Structure 1
Amino acid sequence: MDYVLGIDIGTGSVKAVAVDTKCKSFGAFQHHYSFTSPHPGYHEQNPEEIWDAFKKSMDGMIAEIGNMPKAISLSSAMHSLMPVDENGKALAPMITWADNRSAEIAKRLRNSEIGLSIYKATGTPLHAMSPLCKIIWLKENNPDLFSQTHKFISIKEYIWYKLFKEFKIDYSIASCTGLFNITQLSWHKDSLNITGIDPKMLSEPVQTDYTKFLNTGIPVVIGASDGCMANLGSGGIKPGIAVMTIGTSGAVRIASDKPLPNEKAMTFSYILDKDTFICGGPINNGGIALQWWIKNNIKHELGEADYEQLFGEIASIAAGSKGLLFLPYLTGDRAPIWDSESCGVFFGVKLEHEKAHFSRAVLEGICYSMYDVLDAMQENAEAIKQINISGGIVKSETWMQMMADITGKDLVITQTEDASAVGASLLAMKALGLITDYADLSIKEPKMVKTNPKNGDVYLRNFMIFKTLYSALKNTMHEFYKMNL
């Protein structure tokens, strides 16, 4: 059977997915790995462990199918950083996107003119997740390691070097570093100046269809970032279509032929290919907020039945949770508030509120947070007519209906459990001429959730209060955060 192998290098695992020439996935092979947190706010991984998982996933999928793929293509988690020597050997553990040690540096940049200038040029939010802030932190806090470093690279660059002994970075991964000018397609001078590095300390940027050949003759396409690949794998590459994903966290993304900067919301603009930017914003508190709520209301190990029970209980509660609102900022948040010192809040609590009202308010709060990002995106993007949705939310018709009503958009449910790996395969297929246009990949006979206009007014009113609440409580949240450090 002819197929392309898409490999997604994630934060917790490497997953290899086989996609046939009709663009249908039919097999997957996955290997997990761990992380360490030696100090509060740290999130590190061993790159050799990830390389081993990469090899096992690739070889395992090929062995299971029984014949070699026509091509291999890579997707990767964003914002990772590790210092390496001239032989590509890691000098320290890899710092992941979730590492928060450079939060104060990001805050400093967000309040500066040079920071905002860098944001507009690079399309990368000024946040501790970005390699820009991580490198500055290393320069200020570990000057010996900084001076020993030959290059600062990501996990995908590390694996690419293992495969081909060259330091290359695709435009997509480069575009989420805070170091790369996304319109000039070169390393950004102001970013290099404030980090104290020169271009030689970074890999050579290449197009996302850049291809090399293994000794076996199989072409390997360098690919793009997991977020961009997820949009491609979810069918979200046409104007007017947004992609929403709710897992532990959440994200809203749309495709555009140009960057879509928003200084206030600090949405991102990352490169998929030479014709397409994927723009949007991530939130911290998706399924993790729901999990927190359920776990604090049961006395046993959390299971699928607990989620199903909650979804059943809230089905009879009217839209708006009887005037109860929830700000879901349990772990601070990223877009559009970019505030690591924010916190969760229940507002409007009355004697008549029961557990089911609180449960529904938690879900509505997550939806309001996602809509807050979508609302920011719509300020300078083409009107959104449809949302392709994936993740844990698709397990609940009530939750999906809630999202449709809050956003005022029809939802299309997409089969995207492996969206990033599938997207990587599709990018390779186009690069190798196996398909001609991503537009040919639109979802046939989609399963849809239609918005209910009757609930729109209630949700719009509550959403405006949701936004006002955060603005009113922001300073108090910050004071309280410092009091409880």
Structure 2
Amino acid sequence: MKKKVTAVFDIGKTNKKFFLFDKNFKEVHKEYISFEEIEDEDGHPTENLPALHKWLKDVFNRIINAKKFDIKAINFSTYGASLVHIDENGKPLTPLYNYTKPLPKEIVSSFFETYGPKEAFLKTTGCADLSMLNSGLQLYWLKKMQPEIFSKIKYTLHLPQYLSFVFTGIPISEYTSIGCHTALWDYEKKDYHSWVYKEAINKILPPIVSTETSINMNYNGSRIKIGVGIHDSSAALLPYVRSIKKKFVLVSTGTWSIVFNPFTEKPNSETLFNKDTLNYMRINGKAVKATRIFLGNEYKLQVAKLDEYFGAKEDFHRSVKFDFNIYSEIMLDFKHCYKWESFSDENMPDETQIRYHKYEYAYHQLMMELVLLQVKDIKGALGENSIARIYIDGGFSNNDIYIKLLSHHFRGKKLSTTDASLGSALGAAISISDNKLNSKFLKENYALKKHVPFIVSG
């Protein structure tokens, strides 16, 4: 008997991965590839879409033809803020413009002159002013700057839905892709923003379906359920939403540290404006309040400076564990010592001041200051909600000092870490599965570990 599996393409900016999961969501096959970026017409680096298209088909056809597995379903998880504009024959009309590509200032100015004021617009759409990262503005830019190309667009698809389209030929839109800071969605109206209708952009956006939608198709003689795709951040959140019955926030750490609150009563449009407070969407269209900080990036920069200052080896910081005596000594006369490079903070000094002769002390000071920033972000995402559970995944979940300090700051809450290395791929598999997840899922699949705060005497 061939093993029944769900296939998932998990497409990151760097690595493109392909997974097969069994009925218990255990990984049974994995392969990955990366492509050299190509350039768009302005010389800006971008995804090699033709190579990606070919790889998707080659990998899938090879696995089916090998007849080792019985593929019952396939889904797609990708990075967001990326659009594919196709003509009436389903062929892409433009490169897959990179979300790092700057929009012309005059386009951004013209947009906000027409549809501003800016702050009110960004609040309503749950965005920060991120230029091409607000992928909806790409359509405004194309309409104004490349009207000939724009006139040929039959449909504009978000990247996860384009990958689904490659296999089904059916154009669709879904909530998680629309909801990731695209500037397309009005979180108050729960519909496309009025600018989308005024510019007639809605005519090239395919019908919206639930992220859990799948299309049953005969693919090369096999009956396969094909998913509509999902934005990777929302996919990574899904296993938690499906397996945890009580309210929680998820702190997903990496280059960006993003705090997700899927149980917000108030979308960001109803709170104070903050450029690092965004909305995402759950698979059912409900708002997810998110706060973000460039924490991993800042950590990397500051650790490199500490290594140089103390003459330490590059990975020495990984061996430094929480030391209560060092922590207590620093707390006796706590002052902010680090000047941040990735962002500014009201408490930071004009210049970094290393006050200690030992690496371990300076590193503890660094982590204490970074964790204060993280605490502020978590409180921002929590808002007034009485949520008692905090889950941490990603790079910092293995940092002993980070976890001990967070547990201390949130000692009235239950703090747990998980190892979610398969996060977005697993979320994509779960989103099209009929299987119910139980409360043991995170323990069995995500190495769930609970943490207790340290005890401060006196």
TM-score of the aligned structures, taking structure 1 as reference length: 0.75
Specify whether residues 198 and 394 from structure 1 end up closer, same or farther in structure 2 by C-alpha distance, changes over 3 A only: closer
Query: Counterparts of 1:350 and 1:295 in 2: how far apart (Å)?
Result: 14
SS at 1:70 equivalent: strand
Kept in 2, the 8 Å contact 1:328–1:365? The answer is no
Query: Counterparts of 2:239 and 2:60 in 1: how far apart (Å)?
Result: 19
Q: 1:323 aligned to 334, 340, 351, which one? A: 334
Query: Counterparts of 2:439 and 2:170 in 1: how far apart (Å)?
Result: 33
Q: Deviations over 1:244-288 (max 9, x none)?
A: 1222222111222765223423533333222754331333x2322
SS at 1:217 equivalent: strand
Specify whether residues 407 and 188 from structure 1 end up closer, same or farther in structure 2 by C-alpha distance, changes over 3 A only: same
The AA in structure 2 aligned to 1:204 is P
Worse-superposed segment, 312-321 or 217-226: 312-321
**Displacement after TM superposition at 1:131 (Å):** 1.0
Q: How does 1:215-294 map to 2 (within 5 A)?
A: 215=219, 216-234=222-240, 238-256=245-263, 260-261=267-268, 262-265=271-274, 267-274=277-284, 276-283=286-293, 285-294=294-303
1:400 aligns with 2:403: yes
Partner of 1:424: 428
Specify whether residues 131 and 121 from structure 1 end up closer, same or farther in structure 2 by C-alpha distance, changes over 3 A only: same
Worse-superposed segment, 1-10 or 401-410: 401-410
Partner of 2:392: 389
Kept in 2, the 8 Å contact 1:81–1:94? The answer is yes
SS at 1:2 equivalent: strand
- Between the aligned residues of both structures, percent identity stands at 17
SS at 2:138 equivalent: helix
Specify whether residues 345 and 277 from structure 1 end up closer, same or farther in structure 2 by C-alpha distance, changes over 3 A only: same
The AA in structure 1 aligned to 2:140 is I
1:93 aligns with 2:92: no
Partner of 1:307: 315
Specify whether residues 164 and 127 from structure 1 end up closer, same or farther in structure 2 by C-alpha distance, changes over 3 A only: same
Query: Counterparts of 1:9 and 1:44 in 2: how far apart (Å)?
Result: 14
Q: How does 1:30-49 map to 2 (within 5 A)?
A: 30-35=32-37, 44-49=46-51
Query: Counterparts of 2:41 and 2:359 in 1: how far apart (Å)?
Result: 37
SS at 1:68 equivalent: strand
Q: 1:377 aligned to 378, 381, 384, which one? A: 381
Specify whether residues 231 and 291 from structure 1 end up closer, same or farther in structure 2 by C-alpha distance, changes over 3 A only: same
The AA in structure 1 aligned to 2:178 is A
Q: Deviations over 1:268-327 (max 9, x none)?
A: 3333222754331333x232222223334557xxx9x73344542774632667635366
Gaps of 5+ in 2: none
Specify whether residues 417 and 231 from structure 1 end up closer, same or farther in structure 2 by C-alpha distance, changes over 3 A only: same
The AA in structure 2 aligned to 1:279 is K
Query: Counterparts of 1:314 and 1:114 in 2: how far apart (Å)?
Result: 47
Partner of 1:203: 206
**Displacement after TM superposition at 1:238 (Å):** 4.6
Q: 2:159 aligned to 134, 144, 155, which one? A: 155
The AA in structure 1 aligned to 2:259 is V
4+ residue runs of structure 1 moved beyond 6 angstroms? 37-41, 60-65, 102-108
**Displacement after TM superposition at 1:79 (Å):** 0.9
Kept in 2, the 8 Å contact 1:18–1:25? The answer is yes
Q: How does 1:19-168 map to 2 (within 5 A)?
A: 19-35=21-37, 44-55=46-57, 58=60, 66-101=68-103, 109=112, 113-128=116-131, 129-139=133-143, 141-142=145-146, 145-168=149-172
Query: Counterparts of 2:248 and 2:281 in 1: how far apart (Å)?
Result: 17
Partner of 1:465: none
**Displacement after TM superposition at 1:140 (Å):** 5.0
Kept in 2, the 8 Å contact 1:8–1:421? The answer is yes
Query: Counterparts of 1:326 and 1:26 in 2: how far apart (Å)?
Result: 48
Partner of 1:462: none
Worse-superposed segment, 105-114 or 147-156: 105-114
Query: Counterparts of 1:450 and 1:297 in 2: how far apart (Å)?
Result: 29
Gaps of 5+ in 1: 458-485
Partner of 1:460: none
SS at 1:218 equivalent: strand
The AA in structure 1 aligned to 2:302 is W
Worse-superposed segment, 358-367 or 45-54: 358-367
Query: Counterparts of 1:103 and 1:395 in 2: how far apart (Å)?
Result: 41
Q: How does 1:462-477 map to 2 (within 5 A)?
A: none
Query: Counterparts of 2:23 and 2:7 in 1: how far apart (Å)?
Result: 11
The AA in structure 1 aligned to 2:261 is I
1:188 aligns with 2:193: yes
Q: Deviations over 1:444-476 (max 9, x none)?
A: 683122223639x9xxxxxxxxxxxxxxxxxxx
Kept in 2, the 8 Å contact 1:47–1:155? The answer is no
The AA in structure 2 aligned to 1:131 is S
Query: Counterparts of 1:140 and 1:386 in 2: how far apart (Å)?
Result: 47
The AA in structure 2 aligned to 1:281 is T
Query: Counterparts of 1:134 and 1:45 in 2: how far apart (Å)?
Result: 16
Aligned residues: 438
Q: Which entry has the higher C-alpha Rg, 1 or 2?
A: 2
Q: Deviations over 1:216-265 (max 9, x none)?
A: 21101214211111012345865431111222222111222765223423
Query: Counterparts of 1:278 and 1:244 in 2: how far apart (Å)?
Result: 13
Query: Counterparts of 2:30 and 2:300 in 1: how far apart (Å)?
Result: 27
The AA in structure 2 aligned to 1:96 is N
Specify whether residues 100 and 233 from structure 1 end up closer, same or farther in structure 2 by C-alpha distance, changes over 3 A only: farther
The AA in structure 2 aligned to 1:274 is N
Specify whether residues 325 and 354 from structure 1 end up closer, same or farther in structure 2 by C-alpha distance, changes over 3 A only: farther
Specify whether residues 274 and 157 from structure 1 end up closer, same or farther in structure 2 by C-alpha distance, changes over 3 A only: closer
SS at 2:392 equivalent: strand
Specify whether residues 327 and 233 from structure 1 end up closer, same or farther in structure 2 by C-alpha distance, changes over 3 A only: farther
The AA in structure 1 aligned to 2:9 is I
RMSD of aligned residue pairs (Cα, Å): 4.1
